[in-house]
Amino acid sequence: MKKNVLVIGGGGREHAIVYSLSRSPEVGKIYCAPGNAGIAQLAECHPEIKATDLDGVVAFVRSHGDIYLTVVAPDDPLAAGMVDRLEAEGFRAFGPRANAARLEASKSFAKDLMKKYGIPTAAYEVFTDYDAAAAYLETCSYPTVLKADGLALGKGVLICADRAEAMAGLKEIMLDKAFGSAGNTLVVEDFLTGFECSALAFCDGKTIVPMTTSQDHKRALDGDRGLNTGGMGTFSPSYKVGPAMEKRIYDEVLRPTLDGLNAEGIEFKGVLYAGLMINGDDIKVLEYNARFGDPETQVILPRLKTDLFDIFEACIDGTLDKVDIEWTGSCAVCVIAASGGYPEAYEKGKEIEIGQLDDNVVVFHAGTAMKDGKLVTSGGRVLGVTALAPTLAAARDLAYANIKKVRFDKMHYRTDILKEL
Ligand code: AMP
Ligand code: GLY
């Protein structure tokens, strides 16, 4: 019998997860909370239930006797223990429990784990006291990197060129609490150079299976200028990471991370994401996430041949070693269409037009909603155009040819994703 699934979240990542699950012959009805206008074409959306509403989600699963599995995709509900809550009620859930999600939710926890288990990362110091941090910033070398300890929507990282910038950043994080209680603890780490790569892997607590590689473009504007965003474009696979480097990422980062967590008595089931900085032969972990990346998922899952539902099942049951995870030979590129002004203030409610898309192109919705029967913008990152083709250059050209068919007032997108190819 087919099984019904609830997906928590409402962005492009969740649209890509719902899209993959909808292709599984084992999956019946899909529910999504809160979802968005694109997801609503494949799933029954519940905009009244926010992704962070633990009580609401548990009550929803309890009242719908027909939900077999809940997939918790975003960081906040994972860190808050949504999987723990569902399991405590006897429900099946995909994602790490709160103790394992700390890998993302606390940067000092992640850094200490890396230090203890010899996982390569930038040298760092942790401070809970403003004066001690200020004294350290007098003597450290520049540029330096300040990180608020907790979840801060990807914004709690400040790269400071000199001491004056660092002192201003320190005040912002620890005194003004610009990122709320995330700023009670501060990590100061060495500035690294190189290229960034996302290494995602499925984990069942014992086995860790790397996904195909991908790369994100985090700055808002062409030429990596402008502010850091949640991600403006991705491609997969990363042409900069060959098989030898992939093996090193497994041996030196992914495997030891899972082993280290196990040694600490923490079982990690779900998606482990290591954000890496690679410079020549040097690999260093910038951060961990305890979930699928957004918009990495929009280029990774369309390349997955294996049934995603089967992989989720194996992660929960501890049988990942029995699953053969296969990828298609095609390449994928995703370009994000954002609201003008994002990641700072932007307007919502702009009507969106999407023309006739070419084959091998999917639009994953992120910040969209239906209003009076019309598709409108409702967030900073509005949608992502993912294109698949035999080469990265062809996928890039197809993505750009199709993003031109998307229109809304003040739409902004980067024009330089993979320009170098
Ligand atoms: P994080 O949330 O830790 O990934 O940081 C966000 C972004 O800040 C990363 O994707 C990098 O672009 C940048 N970043 C973080 N840590 C460092 C570092 N130690 N050196 C240089 N850039 C960094
Ligand atoms: N694309 C970066 C992230 O999901 O955190």
| 366-420: pLDDT as tens digits | 999 999 999 999 999 999 999 999 999 999 999 999 999 999 999 999 999 999 9
- Structure pTM? 0.96
Q: Which long-range contacts (CB under 8 A, 24 or more apart) does 154-158 make?
A: 154/228, 154/229, 154/230, 155/179, 155/228, 155/343, 156/182, 156/183, 157/228
Protein residue whose Cα sits closest to atom 1 of ligand 1:
287
Q: What is the pLDDT of residues 24-62, one digit of tens each?
A: 999 999 999 999 999 999 999 999 999 999 999 999 999
Answer whether residue 152 shows pLDDT above 80: no
Find out whether the beta carbon of 75 lies less than 6 Å from any atom of ligand 2: no
Best mutation site among 13, 211, 215, 216 for ligand 2 pocket (most ligand atoms within 8 Å of CB): 216
Q: Hunting for tokens 């608020």 — which residue is that?
A: 148
Contact of 284 with 192, CB cutoff 8 Å? yes
What residue spans of 172-295 are helical by DSSP H? 243-249, 255-263
- Ligand 2 centroid to Cα of residue 295, in Å, is 7
Tell whether ligand 2 has an atom less than 6 A from the beta carbon of residue 380: no
- pLDDT band, residue 153 (cuts 50/70/90): low
Peptide bond into 74 cis (omega under 30): no
228-243 pLDDT, tens digit each: 888 999 999 999 999 9
Query: CB within 8 A of 319, min separation 6: which ones?
Result: 204, 313
Nearest residue to 230 (alpha-carbon basis) of 198, 267, 191, 183:
198
Secondary element (H or E) of residue 21:
helix 12-22
Q: Using DSSP, state whether 164 is helix, strand or coil.
A: helix
